[in-house]
Amino acid sequence: MEYSPPLFLNLLFLLIAAVLHHSTAIPPSPSAATFYPKQALPTKSGYLTVNPTTGSSIFYTFYEAQCPNKNTSKISQTPILMWLQDGPGCSSMLANLGKRVNLGGVAIGNGLTDPGVQVATHGVNAYNLGLINEKQKAILEELQFEAVGFVKSGNWSEATNARTNVLNALTNMTGLATLYDFRRLIPYQDDLVATFLNNVEVKRALGVNELLVFEVCSDVVGDALKDDVMKSAARKVWRVDGKVAGYVQRWESLSHAVVMNAGHLVPTDQGVNTQVMIQDWVLERGLFAGEETQDIQLIDLRVMFE
């Protein structure tokens, strides 16, 4: 059987990089493009106006689909995917340059999907790893209990502050270079991305206003999203071919899926379920369309994995 690329491999990719207070789009400079890595150059980049009155806008880089879908005759029918960085308030250009891969979808890595539960696990995890002792674990658990209390009462701003206190305490107790990976002996060098993107030639290649200063993480954006950090949504059972494949949480247009029986390389461990998840998310089917728990039927989805 002839293999045809699945829909989610033929997508347009839209990268929202950072919130910038400027509304004038500046076309990329052809001569400056040689300074920027060719494989990382977007099809188009510029500004999307947020508020014409204040002149605020969002900078974006756009990557067009490189493999036309045989079943899609019009480019307008190709789905658009977005990559948004965490923080909150950090720029997606960090991932664009630091985690450059051939993207076929969007996933949230290590995100806060059930903050009230997750914030209560830091102490026991650090203790089991030998990073803190029992006394320090008890101190962390008191701070965690406070954060969970704010979540339950719906005091979102204080819940975010309380979680920050937990993470700061954990950092001070362990002396870790970064909480992102306890194995690292030095912090991630995000400053190199900032230095690169603040280079005048790079700004010209991307069509960025040269007067603007790039920030890896914006305190302004972080403060605006502060009340949303610790919120959660109801969880539903997700099934594929009648078997439990994981769990899905949705809030308005945001979806979170847990794929069971998979390690970090999810597509390798659960190839079929991963494809069902991405395709149903893109096409807004099943639980990703907000419907009640149901079996998701497979139709010619096993071809690429057989």
CA-to-CA distance for 96 and 107, rounded, in angstroms?
14
CA-to-CA distance for 164 and 169, rounded, in angstroms?
8
Check whether 183 has a pLDDT greater than 50.
yes
263-294 pLDDT, tens digit per residue, is 877 888 888 998 898 888 888 888 888 544 44
CA angle 44, 34, 209 (to 5 degrees): 50
- Name the one residue in this structure whose structure tokens are 């630091």: 98
Check whether 214 has a pLDDT greater than 60.
yes
Average pLDDT (241-252) is 88
137-165 pLDDT, tens digit per residue, is 999 999 999 999 999 999 999 999 999 99
**Which residues touch 174 (CB under 8 Å, ≥6 apart)?**
126, 131, 132, 182
**pLDDT classification of 74: cutoffs 50, 70, 90:** low
80 sits in which H/E element:
strand 80-83
- At residue 300, the pLDDT reads 27
In the structure encoding, which two tokens stand for residue 297, read together? 């039927």
139 sits in which H/E element:
helix 134-153
The DSSP symbol for 292 reads P
**Which residues touch 194 (CB under 8 Å, ≥6 apart)?**
214, 215, 216
* 273 and 259 Cβ atoms separated by less than 8 Å: yes
Average pLDDT (202-213) is 86
